[in-house]
Amino acid sequence: MKSKRTEIINAFKAADGKTISGEELGDQLGISRTMVCKYIKGLREDGYEIQSSPKKGYTLKSVPKLLYPEEILSGLNTTLFGKNIHYFDEAGSSNDIAKKLAPTAEEGTIVVVEQQTGGRGRLGRKWASPKGGIWFSIILKPKVALSAASRLTLTVGLSVTNTLISYGIDAKIKWPNDVLINGKKVSGILTEVEAEIDTIEFVVIGVGINANMSLKDIPEDLRENSTTIRDETGKSIDRVDFLQRLLHEMEQQYIRFNTQPFSEILNDIIVLSDTIGKDVKVTMPNRIVEGRVVGISKSGALLLKKEDGDVEEIIAGRCIY
Ligand code: BTN
């Protein structure tokens, strides 16, 4: 069901710059004029420029750059990714919504949320998701074994990195699921898989990008060596344009993922890796390993050379450096 807020926005868009009276809006939405005033106030607070003229009504002058499906779809250069969009002003977690939709959803369907109240990160951590970021999840149904899911996360990390680079931003990949600018985390990826024995039913890949916000907008305990595009570049980006470019890049990489050996994608990941060559500590549920990262294996695992000279393949863990 559409929210009253969306109905008011739609009414303004349908009016195409013409003035609508408070009474007319109230009648259309089935609410009082006092409630109309409240919604208008809220919209103004969110950046809508709405002029009010006594006795005449309200005129929409400009809209803020929100990730509205209509905006994303116009100019989206993909055949599958982002063709179906579920949009929310505010919701718990886009991954949770996507997981519910996934069994019947078409591959490439995305869930976009302007502000998440229950954003989740890896390893049960919270993910701060204030307004101004890009928080979305995509539903994929790849015909690969369960063990390939981590390669998909790396592939999406490559897509985010390439998209940032397309804006002239020097971004790097931190194994297994982070994207960094100047050594600080600007994006994280949360992959969740539904599988039967070894066959993937669906994968939900949640992507969080700290875009037009400042680190100050994130609670202190969640800042942990993070950054935002705006803090690093001093500028805001056009989030609609960014998401369009990212969906295009993700689709291209997904085609490669399904048609070429992973070593092809891996070569690109290695070039953009921030982790290779670093001395790191990897924490896993039952142990911690330290060593120098000497590569990433064809299965997407970290290759860690330990003090005794042995190279260990680490499939999953938290990499600290
Ligand atoms: C991490 O680095 O730990 C992963 C962060 C993933 C955050 C994104 S934001 C969109 C999607 N919805 C969530 O609740 N989480 C992911």
The ipTM (two decimal places) reads 0.99
Token look-up 């302007």 returns 114
DSSP character string of 117-131: SS-B-GGG-B--B-T
Q: Which of 59-73, 150-164, 171-185 has the lowest mean pLDDT?
A: 59-73
300 lines ligand 1 (CB under 6 A): no
Q: What is the β-pairing status of strands 311-314 and 318-320?
A: unpaired
Distances (CA, A) of 272 to 90, 151, 172, 214, 276: 34, 15, 5, 25, 9
pTM: 0.84
Q: Which atom of ligand 1 is found nearest the CA of 133?
A: 9
Q: How far apart are CA 161 and CA 165, in angstroms?
A: 6
Cα–Cα distance measured from residue 302 to residue 298, given in angstroms and rounded to the nearest whole number? 10
* C-beta of residue 138 within 8 angstroms of C-beta of residue 204: yes
pLDDT given at position 2? 60
User: Using CA of residue 151, residue 157, residue 160, residue 165, what is the dihedral sign?
Assistant: negative
**Mean pLDDT for the stretch of residues 207-214:** 96
Could you tell me the distance, in angstroms and rounded to a whole number, from the CA of residue 135 to the centre of ligand 1? 7
Question: Would strands 110-116 and 85-91 be described as parallel, antiparallel, or unpaired?
Answer: parallel
CB-based burial label for 229 (10 Å; 0-12, 13-18, 19+): buried
What is residue 65's predicted lDDT score, i.e. its pLDDT?
Answer: 79
Q: What is the rounded distance in angstroms from the CA atom of residue 224 to the CA atom of residue 11?
A: 43
pLDDT at 68: 84
Fill in the DSSP letter of residue 166: T
Confidence (pLDDT) at 105:
98
Residue 1 has pLDDT above 60, yes or no: no
Select from 96, 177, 178, 207 the residue to mutate for testing ligand 1; criterion: most ligand atoms less than 8 Å from CB: 207
Closest to 285 (Cα-Cα) out of 121, 96, 173, 124: 124
Q: Please give the C-alpha separations between residue 51 and each of 15, 218, 277, in angstroms, as whole numbers.
A: 14, 32, 57
d(CA 242, CA 210): 12
Of residues 47 and 220, more confidence is placed in 220
Residue 163, H or E segment: helix 149-165
The residue nearest atom 15 of ligand 1, judged by CA position, is 120
Domains and CATH numbers, the chain: 4-62 (1.10.10.10), 69-271 (3.30.930.10), 279-320 (2.30.30.100)
pLDDT of residue 6: 74
pLDDT in tens, 100-135: 999 999 999 999 999 999 999 998 999 999 999 999
Q: What is the predicted pLDDT for the residue at 318?
A: 93
In whole angstroms, what is the distance from residue 79 CA to residue 320 CA?
Answer: 38
pLDDT band at 9 (very low <50, low <70, confident <90, very high): confident
If you measure from the C-alpha of residue 270 to the centroid of ligand 1, how many angstroms do you get, rounded to a whole number? 23
C-alpha distances in Å from residue 237, one per residue of 75, 116, 246, 286: 17, 20, 13, 41
One DSSP character per residue, 33-90 reads: HHHHHHHHHHHHHTT-EEEEETTTEEEEEE------HHHHHTT---SSTTSSEEEEEE
Q: Indicate if ligand 1 lies below 6 Å from the C-beta of 127.
A: yes
User: What is the distance in A from the centroid of ligand 1 to the CA of 150?
Assistant: 15
Average pLDDT score over residue span 225-239: 95
Does the structure show a pLDDT above 90 at 147? Answer: no
